Amino acid sequence: MGKMAAVVGSAATIAAEPGEDAFRKLFRFYRQSRPGTADLGGVIDFSAAHTGRGAGPSAHKVVRSQLSVSSVNEHDAHRAGLQPVSKWRAYGLEGYPGFIFIPNPFLPGYQWHWVKQCLKLYSQKPNVCNLDKHMTKEETQDLWEQSKEFLRHKEVNKRRPRSLLEKLRWVTLGYHYNWDTKKYSADHYTPFPSDLAFLSEQVATACGFQGFQAEAGILNYYHLDSTLGIHVDKSELDHSKPLLSFSFGQSAIFLLGGLKRDEAPTAMFMHSGDIMVMSGFSRLLNHAVPRVLPNPKAESLPRCLETPLPAVLPRDAVVEPCSVEDWQVCASYLKTARVNMTVRQVLATDQDFPLEPVEEKKRDITTEGFSHLDDKNSQVKRARLNPDS
C-alpha cells in the first residue's frame, strides 16, 4: 500500500520527525501545505478525472466504478435531491477495493437543504453534541435560534465572540457514538432523521448495497483551522455495510491510508457535494482530514452552492424549502467552514447489541463525550482526538 501514496515534489522529500510514521508525516505535510503551490500537486481531484486534466500525477490509479443504475429510479433520486444515477460519475482507486468516490451528484440547489438540516435541525435536541459537556440541555436546546443573529452579521464585526453554532464540532444521530468507550449502545438512541435515512438508502443502493439501514450518524463541523485525526471506523458491529460520507461547504484534503500507519496514504480533494463510500477492505483503513482549504476568492462559497433550491419541489420530496433568511445564515457560516455527514449501519439484520456486565455499563456521553475533530482553539488534548485508533 505504501507504494500507492500520491506523493510528489516537496511532499516526497520532507523529513520525518523522530518516531513519526509515514501517515503522520504526510498528515503534517498537508496540514502545513500552501494552497496555490506545488504542495498540492499530488492531491487527486476526482471532479476533474473525467476530463483527463487536473487529477494529479496519480490519475493513472483512478479507475471508473460501476454503479447499479437500474436499482434507484429517477423519481426516488429526485426526492432526495439527486441527479438520475445514470448521470453520476463514480471512481475508485487501484489497490483500495471497496472505495467509491462520487463527485457531486446533487441536483442544482439541493445541497441547500442538507446544509440547513445540519445547522438548523440536526443540531437540536434530543441529538447529542460536543457542547453538552460544558452546557445544560436548556442552553443547547436551539443552537440555531441562539446563533443566527451572530452569523447574519458575521462580516460586520469579525472580532466578535463566536456563536454557539461556530463552537459546534460534532453532533451524533441515531445510535449515539460514545467517544470514551468507542462503542454504540442500545440504551442511547434517538430517532434517526428520516430525510437523511432516505438519502443514504438511495446512495447505498446505487453503489450495490441493497437494504442499507441508516442507524447512526456523526456530523463534523470544520473551520479553516480544523483537522480530523488519523483513525479507523470499526465500532459498528457489522463491517460488511458501507460507511457513507457527504461533504458540504469549503473543500478539504482527505487522506486514505492502509491497515497500518507505516503505509503512506493517498491524498484527494473533497469538494462540496462529494460523496465517499467505504466498504469491504477500505472500510477498515486509516484515514484523516489534515486540512480545510480556504476558497481562493477569500470567504466566498463554492460555485455549486450559489444556485438556490428550486421553488417547486416534488410533492413527496424529503427535501424541504429553504427560506432566504435561513440560507443567508447558512451561507455566512459556510464561507469559512465545511460540514461532513457520515452515516453508518451499526447492526446486521436481526442483530442485537451484546449484553455487557453491569460494572462495564457505558457512561453517559452527554456529559463525557470528546471529539476527534480538532482546531487551534480546542481545549481537548490531542491524545483524545482519534476515535477507534
Of 306, 299, 308, 374, the C-alpha closest to 337 is 299
Annotation-wise, does 233 bind a ligand? yes
User: What secondary structure does DSSP assign to 140-185, as a single string?
Assistant: TTTHHHHHHHHHHTTTT-TTSPPPHHHH--EEEEEBPPBTTTTB--
Alpha helices in 240-351 (DSSP H): 324-334
Annotation-wise, does 188 bind a ligand? no
CB 217 within 8 A of CB 172: yes
In tens, the pLDDT along 249-287 reads 999 999 999 999 999 999 999 999 999 999 988 888 899
Cα-atom radius of gyration of the chain, to the nearest Å?
20
Q: Could you tell me how far CA 252 lies from the centroid of its own chain?
A: 10
Helix (H) or strand (E) holding 219: strand 216-223
3-state DSSP assignment of residue 270: strand
Cell 460520507 -> residue: 245
What percentage of residues in the chain have a pLDDT greater than 90?
A: 59
Of 305, 342, 291, the C-alpha closest to 175 is 342
Q: What is the dihedral of CA 278, 280, 286, 290, to 10 degrees?
A: -10
Annotation-wise, does 113 bind a ligand? no
In tens, the pLDDT along 66-120 reads 999 999 999 999 999 999 999 999 999 999 999 999 999 999 999 999 999 999 9
CB 353 within 8 A of CB 347: yes
Going along the chain from its start, the domains and CATH numbers come out as: 22-344 (2.60.120.590)
* Pick from 71-80, 183-192, 232-241, 362-371: least confident: 362-371
325: exposed, middle or buried (C-beta count within 10 Å: 0-12, 13-18, 19+)?
A: exposed
Q: What is the dihedral of CA 363, 366, 370, 376, to 10 degrees?
A: -160
Contacts of 83 (CB under 8 A, 6+ apart): 77, 105, 106, 107
In terms of average pLDDT, the best of 201-215, 232-246, 339-353, 363-377 is 201-215
Of 185, 171, 100, 173, the C-alpha closest to 344 is 173
155: exposed, middle or buried (C-beta count within 10 Å: 0-12, 13-18, 19+)?
A: exposed
363: which 3 cell numbers?
457512561
Helix (H) or strand (E) holding 197: helix 194-206
d(CA 64, CA 248) in angstroms, rounded, equals 23
CB 176 within 8 A of CB 365: yes
- Specify the pTM: 0.86
pLDDT at 309: 96
d(CA 93, CA 102) in angstroms, rounded, equals 12
